[in-house]
Amino acid sequence: MRRVSVLVSLPLLVLAAGCAPAGTDPSGGVGDPGSQLAAFRQRATAVAEAWRPGQDWASGYLPLQDPTVLVGDPGFTTDTEQAFRAGWYREQITLPTDEPADGTIRFPDGTLTAPLVSAVDAYRQLDQGDPPPCPGRPAAPKPEQKPGFRPKPGATGGPIVEPGPDGSLVSPSPDPDAPVSGIPASGCVPLTVTAVRLGAAPVRTSRGEAQVPAWLFTVEELKAPVARLAVAPGAATPVPQAPAPAGQVPDGVAGAQDLTALSGTRLTWRIGMGACDTGGTPLVEERDDVVVVGGAVTPATGVCTDQLLLKPVTATLKAPLGARPVLDVATGAPLVLRPL
């Protein structure tokens, strides 16, 4: 059977999921719950026993979260959330280019000093380009709206003169307050950076939640700053690639893609399902040192495109996660927190 590989994570294809306590049978009558749970636990045991992180896991700086962090409730609209997810920004200030002195990372079990990058370097990492153009809604500010703009000698605020085939065409000055029809509701609005300062942001690391030096960008359209971690890339230890257990992932057991939320004992992650698979319930193996997660699905039969759908699922642990890593049952790798 021929399959075509496509990754799909559109909102219409990301399904809602219920909650299940750790270590319980998957609910909803998906396939054979007892068989899936037994297969998952066997695989999870192999993953947990193969987990052997290096010394830096407990003594260095190993972030398990994306380096762009929201500090507080941003008060998103449809436009601003799209711009934040895509990394569309424009600066209205002159960003500092000097590298600050070394900063201190504060872990629950101690501190660590690390070199920091400048604000302008952090902004370059934050900004992922310009939004696509939309009629009537420019992606960048007009020259006269930029800081330090000085009009050319003799320039006035009069009518706009444009060359035409029979001479100059004179158009009235546009009214900035006039309504514009036919404008898309979203898709071309960048976030405007109006200030920046060096501070700290809470970040999940291999040693638990740490306060990490970060450049805090004030954004005109958001209620909370956008933080970009300021620790120099070379000071961070890469996430280890744990060896996957031998053998194939059991049928009916889906791997985890990433973490999307964690609070106390509640854990939310996304599992990868085939386009024609059904079900999708959380599976958890909780230990004192690690937590292994995945999902229970009913594989499709017959011909189907090889699409990967990402489905969020939630479970309640027996104890707060703390500094324990969350491992994917398929690959054995620790999951990175990427809030939705």
CA-CA distance, 142 to 129, in Å (whole number)?
A: 17
Rounded-to-10 torsion of CA 178, 180, 184, 186: 0
Q: Residue 163: which H helix or E strand, with range?
A: strand 160-164
Q: What band does 19 get if pLDDT is binned at 50, 70 and 90?
A: very low
Q: Is 16 a residue whose pLDDT tops 70?
A: no
For the stretch 191-247, pLDDT in tens is 999 999 999 999 999 999 999 999 999 999 999 999 999 999 999 999 888 777 888
What pLDDT does residue 283 have? 96
CA-CA distance, 86 to 109, in Å (whole number)?
A: 35
Angstrom CA distances, 61 to 115, 202, 305, 315, stand at 12, 13, 41, 28
For the stretch 274-283, pLDDT in tens is 888 888 999 9
Q: Is 136 a residue whose pLDDT tops 50?
A: yes
What pLDDT does residue 137 have? 53
For residue 79, count other CB atoms closer than 10 A to its CB. Answer: 20
Q: Greatest CA span in the chain, whole angstroms? A: 82
For the stretch 240-281, pLDDT in tens is 887 778 888 888 999 999 999 998 899 999 999 888 888 899
For the stretch 49-74, pLDDT in tens is 999 888 889 999 999 999 999 999 99
In the chain, % of residues over pLDDT 90: 57
What pLDDT does residue 235 have? 95
